[in-house]
Amino acid sequence: MFTGKTILVTGGTGSLGKVLVRRLLQNELGAPHKIIIFSRDEAKQHEMRISYMNKRAATDEIIFRNFQRVLDFRIGDVRDFHSVAEALRSVDVVFNAAALKQVPTCEYFPYQAVMTNIGGPENIVRAIQELNLPVQTVVGVSTDKACKPVNVMGMTKSLQERIFIQANMRCPKTRFICVRYGNVLSSRGSVIPLFHDQIRHGGPLTITTSDMTRFLLSLDQAVDTIFAAYKDANPGETYIPRVPSARVVDLAAALVGDRPIQTVVTGIRPGEKLHEILISEEEVNRSVVRGSYYAILPMLPELNDGKEYAAALKREFSSADNVMAPSEVVDMLRHYHLMLDDNLQEDGELLR
């Protein structure tokens, strides 16, 4: 499916971007002609380039060969129309992973979030439309916080979804689709690396509230969702992974184990929800099952086929429902090798 294609990954040096690029370099869905890493941080691009140069082991041979052949690093910012337009030339597929995603940061600097999370997608659509670029597919990466948003991050991501969905009308030769998922285990800035760091330093572990729940999935599951949408989504559809959720206190307890570390409840941060939602009550009526995923059909009648579908759910898809038991949380963390071991350094820090 990607054989011979030129792929642009905005935000390609982020946690998701790096795993997405690795999977693309493994020729999982075919051998791309070129993969363009588009981001504004030269230090992260340099680190990523060096990491691939060091992948000479036999198990990484295909990645190393492809890195030399197809990877193209470009400095640019999705906020800047001209750099976006230049990067999009000769591109077949776009994965838009560039974002300001930290909830408190977006609350304190809301217009910065607007420029990246809304202005960036608009620049992609505008470039394709005004320059008549032959881009085949654009995949917008969204978040559960975009569903019934209460914070700036979610509001801007919700508008990103609407911009990309409506873009199917502005650029009818390009398929615009979205993916929406919950918290990614061990991604940059997420709660598990924070808990790891707090445990290494002897605590305390900080939890905002004891009732909070979150959807959880791995970085590879996030990429699986992106690939599934790319393969099967119709224009204007949003793909949702059918993933479990957990109480944050159970996540903390699983990581702490029997270590003598205190847990402190600090209160909900600006913009935080108690529970996250992946599909709202309104969206339930236009959601269908697609294998391991739900697909939300576009609300715009111009993008619908006019058929009636049986609703995939009877109520909203909330992290408060079907919460994993504490033992299941432990099993999940062990499966993804996210538990801390019990080796201690002389200074008392715990090693991963």
Which of the pair, 178 or 272, is modelled with greater confidence? 178
pLDDT of residue 346: 32
Digit-coded pLDDT (tens) for 272-331: 899 999 999 999 999 999 999 999 999 999 998 877 888 899 999 999 998 999 999 999
3-class SS at 181?
strand
Per-residue pLDDT band at 224 (split at 50, 70, 90) = very high
Per-residue pLDDT band at 60 (split at 50, 70, 90) = low
Per-residue pLDDT band at 51 (split at 50, 70, 90) = confident
Per-residue pLDDT band at 21 (split at 50, 70, 90) = very high
Which of the pair, 54 or 250, is modelled with greater confidence? 250
pLDDT at 344 over 50: no
Q: State how far the Cα of 172 lies from the Cα of 203, in Å rounded to an integer.
A: 54
Is 145 assigned a catalytic role? yes
pLDDT of residue 189: 66
Mean pLDDT of 155-184: 97
pLDDT of residue 271: 82
Q: State how far the Cα of 311 lies from the Cα of 163, in Å rounded to an integer.
A: 25
3-class SS at 269?
coil
Digit-coded pLDDT (tens) for 107-156: 999 999 999 999 999 999 999 999 999 999 999 999 999 999 999 999 99
Q: State how far the Cα of 319 lies from the Cα of 173, in Å rounded to an integer.
A: 37
pLDDT of residue 345: 39
Question: To the nearest whole number, what is the mean pLDDT of the chain?
Answer: 91
pLDDT of residue 29: 94
pLDDT of residue 340: 76
Q: State how far the Cα of 88 lies from the Cα of 228, in Å rounded to an integer.
A: 23
Closest to 191 in 3D by CA, of 216, 222, 210: 216
289 DSSP β-pair partners: 294
- Active-site residue, from 5, 18, 101, 145: 145
Question: What domains can you pick out in the chain, each with its CATH number?
Answer: 76-182+217-243+278-317 (3.40.50.720)
Entry pTM: 0.91
